[in-house]
Amino acid sequence: MFNPKRLSLARMRRRLTGKALAERARLAQDTISRLERGVHEPEDGSVGQLADALDYPEGFFYLPDPADLQTGAVSFRSLSKMSAKEHDAAISAGSLGLQLYGWIDERFSLPQPDLLDLSYETDPEMAARALRQHWGLGERPIGNMIGLLETRGIRILSLAENTAQVNAFSFWRDDQAYIFLNNFKTPESSIFDTAHELGHLVMHRHAGTKGDRTFEREADSFAAHFLMPRNDVLSRVPRPTTVEVVLQAKQRWRVSAMAMAYQLRTLGRVSEYQYKSICIELGRRGYRSGEPLGVEREASLIWPKVLKQLWQEKVTRADIAHDLNIPLDELQSLLWSLTAIPEEQACRRGAATLSLME
């Protein structure tokens, strides 16, 4: 049976208005509207026209309801810069991501979430410290945030180019934690975004309305303290804290130069005045718009393992997409920046520690 919600999802993923879709599919705008509202069944051939126009498999429109992500329960980074279209596209990507993880869950056993519920904690620095303690990280810098989070049971997917204005978002669903990352930004920004979303997952799990500025500030502060713990920073960063020092320090904690300088101000290692001066100099050197001499981009540790195993079973990404009734490009979008290498290569690189469940 035709599923109107699937039509809405595919249209939002393609960032089309009802009118634009109608034109592409050579259908009346009113028809699209009625189909999406479920007030009438599609006529013969029109599902094929819609599938062609959206470049989605016809079977997609006959799947059960997609996971309904309550938008209030989703924490978006850069919400203010996002258009409604981008917001809807991102939420729709979340639904597809849940569908993909559902498929994986049937075939693989993945790490279960090992997070603290720190929603009672009002101080982000204390929350960051508590989680570090819980995970036994001490004050040491984290060399792979995605790897750490995956090991602790957080499910990570990437965001496609058609949601480039969305930095990242996260949500809880059926006691599983999900983060979607946009890796178009610098690796340092993505690392910070990952820590920011981690902050939302542990501090704002039960918060009603996400996107609140206070929550965003708390998540930023959590990220800064999680990535750059106070004692480690203060014991290592010398005085005078010059731009050169900031540029060396950022390599250790794998953050942007601006984030490093901001944390040094937060920790009182540089004064407001010095911070301003450092920012001006960093801007001159191109660190406001990019990250010269940056760190390497992080990649998933889980997906190469999964894909390698499937590859050995002669299951390709195209097969997965076919099974899910989603276009291959949507599957690639969910995985591409986390694997960021061609399928065969990714499979060869997949770690050999995957085991069979009894």
Interaction site with other proteins (CB under 8 A): 106-111, 137, 140-144, 147-148, 150-151, 235-245, 248-249, 251-252, 270-271, 273-274, 277, 281, 301-302, 305-306, 309, 351, 353-358
- What are the CA-CA distances from residue 358 to residues 72, 108, 315, 353 (Å)? 39, 12, 22, 15
Q: At what angle do helices 213-227 and 124-134 cross, to 10 degrees?
A: 50
**End-to-end Cα distance, the chain:** 38
In whole angstroms, how close is the CB of 262 to other proteins at the nearest point?
16
CA distance 219 to 127: 10
* Nearest C-alpha neighbor of 60 from the set 325, 358, 346, 350: 325
Query: Quick one: residue 175, left, alpha or beta (phi over 0 = left, psi -120 to 50 = alpha)?
Result: left
Q: How far is the CB of 77 from other proteins (least distance, A)?
A: 23
The pair of structure tokens assigned to 280 is 């001006």
DSSP state for residue 153 in the 8-state scheme: T
Pick between residue 183 and residue 241 the one whose CB is nearest to other proteins. 241
Distance of closest approach, residue 51 Cβ to other proteins, in angstroms: 32
Question: Which residue number, 227 or 334, has a Cβ lying nearer to other proteins?
Answer: 227
Compute the least distance from the CB of residue 238 to other proteins, in Å: 5
| Nearest distance in Å: CB 273, other proteins | 6
Closer residue to other proteins, CB minimum distance, 35 or 249 = 249
Residue closer to other proteins, measured from CB, 35 or 142: 142
Residue-wise burial string across 54-88, b where 16 or more C-beta atoms lie within 10 A, e elsewhere: bebbeebbebeebbebebebbbbbebeebeeebbb
Smallest gap, in angstroms, from Cβ of residue 310 to other proteins?
A: 9
Could you tell me the smallest distance in angstroms from the CB atom of residue 219 to other proteins?
Answer: 21
CB of 200 to other proteins, least distance (A): 21
Nearer to other proteins, 16 or 243 (CB): 243
Nearer to other proteins, 14 or 305 (CB): 305
Q: Residue 228 carries which DSSP code?
A: S
Say how far residue 255 (Cα) sits from the centre of its chain.
17
CA distance 82 to 253: 29
List all residues 6 or more positions away from 195 whose beta carbon is below 8 Å from its beta carbon: 145, 222, 223, 224, 226, 227
Q: Which tokens belong to 349?
A: 């690189």
Query: Which residues have CB under 8 Å from 111's CB, separation 6+?
Result: 150, 151, 152, 153, 302
Q: Which is nearer to other proteins, 307 or 321 (CB)?
A: 307
Nearer to other proteins, 59 or 153 (CB): 153
Q: Which is nearer to other proteins, 20 or 137 (CB)?
A: 137
Smallest separation (angstroms) from other proteins to the CB of 144? 6
